[in-house]
Amino acid sequence: MASLFKIPLTQLDKIGSKKAEQFSKLGIGSIGALLRFYPRTYEDWSRPCKIAEAPRCENVCIRGTVESAKPPARIRGNMTIFRVTVTDGDSRMTVTFFNQKYTYDRIKSGGDFIFYGMLKASAHDYEMASPQVEEPSMAAIRPIYQQTAELSSRQIEKAVRQAVAMLPEKTNDPIPQHIREEFGLCDLGFAIKNIHFPSDHNACELARKRLVFEELFVLQLGVGLRSSDRLNVTPQNITADYTKEFLSLLPYKPTNAQQRVIGQCITDMKSTCRPMNRLIQGDVGSGKTAVAAAICHTAAKNGLQCAFMVPTEILAEQHFQSLSGLFAGTGLNIALLTGSTKQAAKKQILSGLKSGSIDIVIGTHALISDNVEFSRLGLVITDEQHRFGVAQRAALNSKGRYPHIIVMSATPIPRTLALMIFGDLDLSVIDEMPPGRKPTDTYLIDSEKRSRLYGFIRKHITNGNQCYIVCPLVEQNDSELVSAEEYAERLDKTVLSDCRIGILHGRMKPAEKDRIMSAFAAGEIDILVSTTVIEVGVNVPNATIMVIENAERFGLSQLHQLRGRVGRGSDKAYCIMVSDASSQATLERLKVMCSTNNGFTIADEDLRLRGPGDFFGTRQHGLPELRTAKLTDMVSVEAAREAAQKLLANDPELSQREHAPLKFEVARLFNNTGGA
Ligand code: ADP
Ligand code: MG
């Protein structure tokens, strides 16, 4: 397998240098990397169901015969529409296509097809809009890949199909045979073939089980190799505690929990035995930023350079503002570095970091890039850790000589998993909210109540408060969803036309996002219609209403994060989830939100309702290289950890010859920030 990482994609049919360039944007630079680019999910075309029995609100696969087709008619502008009636022998459905003359030509003469899409039922009919259509021979489990604007999942699928054919008969398996036997794992060749093109559900599950194990195993080996490193170093220990001075800068009194956690970190940094490695968990709004600020303050006063990494520019900007404010007059030099920092300013910051004149830098992924060098990096804090990968954090940590490490998380991570991800680490919990917080009242409504909702919003805006409205990301085939732009336009033209409405979405330029966010923070915007870009960290205490449209589209932890954007000040806050979902499971999930504000309870419920598999699948773990969509169970985590420890006990440096493929995988995981 390792040799396939040396073969460029241009070896494949129909892939020239331009296409190869598009693949490289996904971090795929070789045949090997392509094979390791696992599907995000699958579409099950293998088991078509009956029209009358098909579930609602999710994509389904229906096999049927085209009975009648009306030719495309123009409806407006260049848009054409045509409808066909399809029968499965028992029931009929009407299928509508827009702008798809070629599909019409394909299916007008009748015949058998598979239709893959969302089925809606009205009083007398079943309807499907813009499904994908294939011949019955395509009835298989089909891979869906993460796509880009230039590269569709289907194009990736074609390339992968060729790459799979290039796999040697016998692959050099990184997992030693005795471990595979012990844990009942299939070999690498089978796994790669079946993760992309599963012959059936069982094969897919086997492949996934093995790849998950492999990833955890390799990860644990890497973490193990590193932490044994860290045990034998002299830490950059500090001698003085400046917490008291810091507290005099803080405009409020810290909670006991905040003080305790600050104390734990300072004790860690004073230790002469080993560098700090600590996970701080605290529910949304528990005040993690102030804790991070206190630790940076003391570390910097002791001469350590500090890096504070956050996942979005909005959040970086906001932390920078609040820390700059706090530290004005302390003599500490603080800088902000993001992807949109202007060239001239950037040059200055890079030189300041290298010379050591900058004490604290706050930034996004930009902090990881090669040209960022520090003179004496001694503390690395990662906020919202689940947004980063192991490799990304490792890249930042490696810019200093065994710096102290803090990762912060709003989601409780099971202890075993935390050990897997972070190595041997200590845990602090901020288990107390700042005083005066009132729980956010949460309601679930359906779209019929929307006009009342708008009245409610207006009332609060008249009172001087602000409101977020979150719409899910619009993906292809989501014909029922409205984009944030359209939504905002609707509000603006109709019911809430007298309010100041702003839009925020992921495709906007960072500078533009900042402008909108600052305007919202300054109270110049009443209603911010946005995608989930505001999910993490953003802090505008005057915003008191969070509306979440199509709430069924979000996982519990994500809903909790979104709700955490309000209820940050002393005013009573409300979260209103709008959903027309009818599935019992979905309703149960959403109702959990109405019954509690406690993030830990919610995470537990999330785990209970969806099973640990999905929990890991939602990227709460910070393992982006874990490309296998979900983790089957906790047992894998512990098994992989145990197996890795055993192996390292035997071969602490992975220097034995038969472990060469393993060493290759460890290097691949830890050296790549992108995961190629
Ligand atoms: P999170 O833990 O979600 O990162 P933040 O650090 O953003 O939370 O803090 C949320 C809000 O609570 C901020 O407005 C912050 O100023 C405020 N805050 C934090 N600690 C306290 C405290 N001890 N007393 C009062 N307000 C606080
Ligand atoms: Mg935060």
Burial of residue 67 (number of CB atoms within 10 Å: 0-12, 13-18, 19+): exposed
Residue 668 backbone phi and psi in degrees, to 5: -65, -45
Residue carrying the six token digits 């595979």: 180
Q: Is 235 in the pocket of ligand 1 (CB under 6 A)?
A: no
pLDDT band at 624 (very low <50, low <70, confident <90, very high): very low
Tens digits of residue pLDDT in 467-496: 999 988 765 555 566 788 888 888 888 788
Q: Between residues 270 and 211, which one has the greater pLDDT?
A: 270
Distance between CA atoms of 620 and 411, rounded to whole angstroms? 7
Strand partners, 95: 84, 128
Among 52-61, 185-194, 442-451, 475-484, the minimum mean pLDDT is found in: 475-484
Residue whose Cα lies nearest atom 10 of ligand 1: it is 285
Tokens describing residue 648: 């390292």
Q: Is 325 in the pocket of ligand 1 (CB under 6 A)?
A: no
Q: How far is C-alpha 357 from the geometric centre of its chain's CA atoms?
A: 34
Tokens describing residue 43: 């579409």
Q: Are 150 and 22 in contact (CB under 8 A)?
A: yes
Residue 322 Cα: closest atom of ligand 1: 16
The answer to whether the Cα torsion of 11, 16, 19, 22 is positive or negative is positive
Distance between CA atoms of 313 and 647, rounded to whole angstroms? 41
Expressed in angstroms and rounded, the spacing between residue 362 Cα and the centre of ligand 1 is: 18
Burial of residue 79 (number of CB atoms within 10 Å: 0-12, 13-18, 19+): exposed
N-to-C CA span, the chain: 14
Residue 535 backbone phi and psi in degrees, to 5: -55, -50
Mean pLDDT value across the chain: 87
What average pLDDT does the segment 126-150 reach?
A: 89
Expressed in angstroms and rounded, the spacing between residue 249 Cα and the centre of ligand 2 is: 19
Helices (H), 239-342: 243-249, 256-270, 288-301, 313-327
Calculate the alpha carbon distances from 441 to 82, 113, 487, 575, 595 in Å: 46, 48, 24, 6, 9
Distance between CA atoms of 576 and 595, rounded to whole angstroms? 13
DSSP letter at 117 equals E
H/E run at residue 607: helix 599-617
Tens digits of residue pLDDT in 154-213: 999 999 999 999 999 888 899 999 999 999 999 999 999 999 999 998 999 899 889 888
Helices (H), 108-240: 153-165, 177-183, 188-196, 201-231
Residue whose Cα lies nearest atom 20 of ligand 1: it is 287
Q: Between residues 353 and 413, which one has the greater pLDDT?
A: 353
Domains of the chain, earliest start first: 1-43+147-167 (1.10.150), 47-138 (2.40.50.140), 243-430 (3.40.50.300), 441-596 (3.40.50.300)
**For a pLDDT cut of 70, what percent of the chain falls above it?**
90
Residue 322 predicted with pLDDT over 80: yes
DSSP string for residues in 224-241: HHHHHHHHTS--------
Pocket test for ligand 1, best of 281, 286, 296, 566 (most atoms within 8 A of CB): 286
Which pTM does this prediction carry? Answer: 0.66
**For a pLDDT cut of 90, what percent of the chain falls above it?**
52
| Residues, beta carbon < 5 Å, ion ligand 2 | 288, 537
Q: How many other C-beta atoms can be found within 10 angstroms of the C-beta atom of residue 235?
A: 20
pLDDT band at 216 (very low <50, low <70, confident <90, very high): confident
Tens digits of residue pLDDT in 630-675: 433 455 667 888 899 899 989 988 999 999 999 998 888 776 533 3
Expressed in angstroms and rounded, the spacing between residue 564 Cα and the centre of ligand 2 is: 10
> 79-87 and 73-76: which strand pairing?
antiparallel
Tens digits of residue pLDDT in 530-565: 987 776 667 899 999 999 999 998 888 889 889 999
Q: Between residues 99 and 536, which one has the greater pLDDT?
A: 99
Nearest C-alpha neighbor of 665 from the set 24, 335, 175: 175
Among 298-307, 376-385, 531-540, the minimum mean pLDDT is found in: 531-540
What average pLDDT does the segment 575-588 reach?
A: 90
Tell me what pLDDT residue 494 has: 77
Residue 611 predicted with pLDDT over 70: no
Residues for the chain: how many in total? 676
What average pLDDT does the segment 118-125 reach?
A: 85
Tell me what pLDDT residue 616 has: 42
Ligand closest in space to the Cα of 536: 2
How many Cα atoms within 13 Å fall on the side-chain side of residue 562?
30
Distance between CA atoms of 233 and 273, rounded to whole angstroms? 8
Ligand closest in space to the Cα of 385: 2
Residue whose Cα lies nearest atom 18 of ligand 1: it is 287
pLDDT band at 415 (very low <50, low <70, confident <90, very high): low
What average pLDDT does the segment 28-36 reach?
A: 94
Distance between CA atoms of 117 and 158, rounded to whole angstroms? 21
Distance between CA atoms of 59 and 49, rounded to whole angstroms? 11
Ligand closest in space to the Cα of 564: 1
Tell me what pLDDT residue 304 has: 97
Tokens describing residue 227: 């932490």
Residue 290 backbone phi and psi in degrees, to 5: -65, -35
Q: Are 391 and 675 in contact (CB under 8 A)?
A: yes
Q: Is 561 in the pocket of ligand 1 (CB under 6 A)?
A: no
Nearest C-alpha neighbor of 363 from the set 386, 343, 380, 376: 380
Residue 349 predicted with pLDDT over 90: yes
Distance between CA atoms of 118 and 663, rounded to whole angstroms? 45
Rg (CA), the chain: 27
Distance between CA atoms of 187 and 249, rounded to whole angstroms? 59
Nearest C-alpha neighbor of 95 from the set 47, 63, 137: 63
What average pLDDT does the segment 299-319 reach?
A: 93
Q: Is 656 in the pocket of ligand 1 (CB under 6 A)?
A: no
Distance between CA atoms of 539 and 198, rounded to whole angstroms? 45
Q: Is 275 in the pocket of ligand 1 (CB under 6 A)?
A: no
Beta-carbon contacts of residue 555 (< 8 Å; ≥ 6 apart): 606, 610, 614, 618
pLDDT band at 328 (very low <50, low <70, confident <90, very high): very high
Ligand closest in space to the Cα of 384: 2
